[in-house]
Structure 1
């Protein structure tokens, strides 16, 4: 069986996500940390759902629980990667971190980023349809930074709110498709440098292990040991997420299918557009863990 796991980032969380997920010990730990009895009910409030501290803790906990409940039903994956905050769950799934410390780190990561955002409010803007040189010039003209690179003409820009508005107006007039993301921090840009440094200090006291499977980072390509894992988790907060390269690295493992763990199907769609011969599905599409496992087994055993 040869498949890859991709762990989603934030922005697509919704009350009906992962309908098959059981309320296990990891979910209960997450609920306790968030102070909510019903996480689906909490997600029904957009103001609560879009708060960075709530979203990062919730998505990390749900991803950890989802993989814990799926893992006994399938063989180990051949490769793992996570998108933005999804790296925390990805590193845990690869054996780098235990679930409890990973949830605590999600809270610390969000706190560090929110502290930066309080000093320099900002956000993220998805832009599709502009060439590489034009995107570079747009960043120069507006003062924004490249936060995430999904493909040659599909990126996410980050920076102050006013600059995001300016970039959206310019890019839209040039025929680009623009979408403001449901986040209130300029993740993966230089505006998060203090957050990256603060998180690096938090990671020093946490026990890390070498990955047990091929693990790829947004900021440092393949992670082979504990030191590299610790560095990568902090660095990606303030540097560009090279998701296109992550996908290429995963594909190089000769996998037969891909499973996205988290809300929505954004990563599965990107994968299917880039590699149409290797199918990808999202856990959010299934009604039971058994159905997820059956799909994985059917395609990964080809």
Structure 2
């Protein structure tokens, strides 16, 4: 059997996410980092949930816990990728960094980004329903940058708050569908260059390893060795996430199914729309780790 893992980014975290997740060491360590006793109760406060430092620490910790509890029940994946901050858990699942390191780096990554955003406040806007020409018109007129490319007609733009306000007005006039994301930094844009440089210095002291499985990066295609992993994790903070290319690279591994680990079903839904013959499900769809393993294993003989 060959399956792929996709690790979610932030923006869709919710109190009922991963209902089957056990309270293990990863979860307890994450709660200690966040200074909370009950992460689900904390997520019920939208202001708490949307804070960048809380979200990155929470999502990385929960993704690490989810995979550690699921991994003993299934074979090794054939390909792995992570969406935005999901790369930390993805790189850990692939063996490039150990889980404890990934958990600690989530907090450091968020601190670097928040420090940068303190003098360059910004955010992200998801836009769809426009031609490539009109999307580019919107980006230029509003003064934004392309943060994430999910497909030709589905992108996420990033930049300063005032520019995002202008973009919403322009997008409405153009007939686009658009949503302001629940983040408070202009991730994956040049406004985060200082954060990328700071995180790069942090990663210089971190032990990295060559991945044990095919690992694909938002910023650097396939990761083949320790140094390229270190460079890619820092670079993606201020570079466009080429998620459409990540999905193409994963598909090329001839996987039979795809599992999204994290909150919501955004990546699984995106995958199913793009590749309907290769089924994708999200961990949030299931009530137990055993049910997830059964679904993955059901594709073994296909």
Same fold (TM > 0.5): yes
2:168 corresponds to 1:185: no
Alpha-carbon distance in structure 1 between the residues aligned to 2:98 and 2:236: 20
Residue in structure 2 matched with residue 224 of structure 1 by the alignment: 224
User: Which sections of structure 1, spanning at least 5 residues, go unmatched?
Assistant: none
CA distance in 2, matches of 1:233, 1:197: 11
* TM-score between the two structures when normalised by the length of structure 2: 0.99
CA RMSD of aligned residues (A): 0.6
1:176 alignment partner in structure 2: 176
Could you tell me how far 1:300 is from its partner in structure 2? 4.1
Instruction: Tell me the TM-score normalized by structure 1.
Output: 0.99
Match of 2:28 in 1: 28
Q: Secondary structure at the match of 1:81?
A: strand
Counterpart position of 2:142: 142
Q: What do residues 27-64 of structure 1 show as CA deviations (whole Å, max 9, x unaligned)?
A: 11111111111000100111110000000000000000
C-alpha displacement of 1:172? 1.6
Supply the distance in 2 between the matched residues of 1:46 and 1:151 (Cα, whole angstroms).
29
1:19 matched residue in structure 2: 19
Matched, 1:287 2:301: no
Which residue does 1:97 correspond to in 2?
97
Match of 1:166 in 2: 166
CA contact (8 A) 1:146 1:156 kept: yes
Question: Which residue pairs with 1:87 in the alignment?
Answer: 87
In structure 2, the residue matched to 1:247 is 247
* Whole-angstrom distance in 2 between the partners of 1:42 and 1:217: 31
For 2:193 and 2:248, the matched residues in 1 are separated by: 27
Instruction: Give the 4+ runs in structure 1 shifted more than 6 A.
Output: none
CA distance in 2, matches of 1:300, 1:90: 22
3-state DSSP of counterpart to 1:211 = coil
Three-state SS of the structure 2 residue aligned to 1:247 is: helix
- Distance of 2:55 and 2:97 partners within structure 1: 20
User: Secondary structure in 2 aligned to 1:299?
Assistant: coil
1:23-172 mapped onto 2 (5 Å cutoff):
23-172=23-172
Q: Distance in 2 between matches of 1:182 and 1:98?
A: 29
Checking the alignment, whether the CA contact within 8 Å between 1:2 and 1:301 is kept in structure 2 is no
